[in-house]
Amino acid sequence: MQKILNFHRRLANFLGLLILALMFVIVIDVVGRFFFNKPLQGGVEISQLLLAWILFLPLAYALFRGAHVQVTILLMYLSRRHKLIAETIITILSLGLFGLAIYAGWNYFWESISVGETMAAPIWLPLWLAKLAALLGFLLIFIQLCINLVTNFVQPGEKSH
């Protein structure tokens, strides 16, 4: 469990750096545009790439912390045993969904690398970077779902955080 916490801390630090980089890119673009009539070339596209990473990487952490939106009104009336069964079914269905997302994401990512897909920007920016962010985000949440599933059987009724 400590290794998972350490990983999530390092991921949070990395995301903080990405957010700082995004702010830096936006400030340079705005200052360049309004004060020098020369925006940062590819500033919008760089921001889009950074946002993909900022969006997809924290998915597993949110699951780890129990911060995803849940329909708890249905679960709160169930007994502990039935709640465990419902959570297990939901986790297994989620594993299937994210397993499909990983499969499709890998194919999408690999095709992008294979053809050398780039963003329509004034500078060269590989589009596979954004697709890699989605793929890694899906993979991390899949792994966290597996951990949650095992934790439900080892320590029924307790979350992994």
pLDDT tens-digit readout, 110-156: 999 999 888 888 888 899 999 999 999 999 999 999 988 988 777 65
Banded model confidence at residue 161, pLDDT cuts 50, 70, 90: very low
Residues 79-97 have a mean pLDDT of 90
Domain assignment present for 69 = yes
Domains contained in the chain, number? 1
pTM exceeding the 0.75 threshold for the entire prediction: yes
Domain assignment present for 161 = no
Residues 28-32 have a mean pLDDT of 93
Domain assignment present for 160 = no
Q: Decide if pLDDT at 160 tops 50.
A: no
User: Cα angle vertex 160, ends 156, 161, to 5°?
Assistant: 135
CA–CA gap between residue 103 and residue 101 (Å, rounded): 5
Residue with structure tokens 């969904």? 97
Q: Write the CA distances from 98 to 113, 139, 157, integer angstroms.
A: 22, 8, 23
Residues 41-54 have a mean pLDDT of 91
Helix, strand, or coil (residue 118): strand
Burial class of residue 17 in the structure, from the number of CB atoms within 10 Å of its CB (0-12 exposed, 13-18 middle, 19+ buried): exposed
Give, to the nearest 10 degrees, the angle between helix 2-35 and helix 43-56: 160
Q: By residue range, what is the domain housing residue 120?
A: 2-154
Domain assignment present for 159 = no
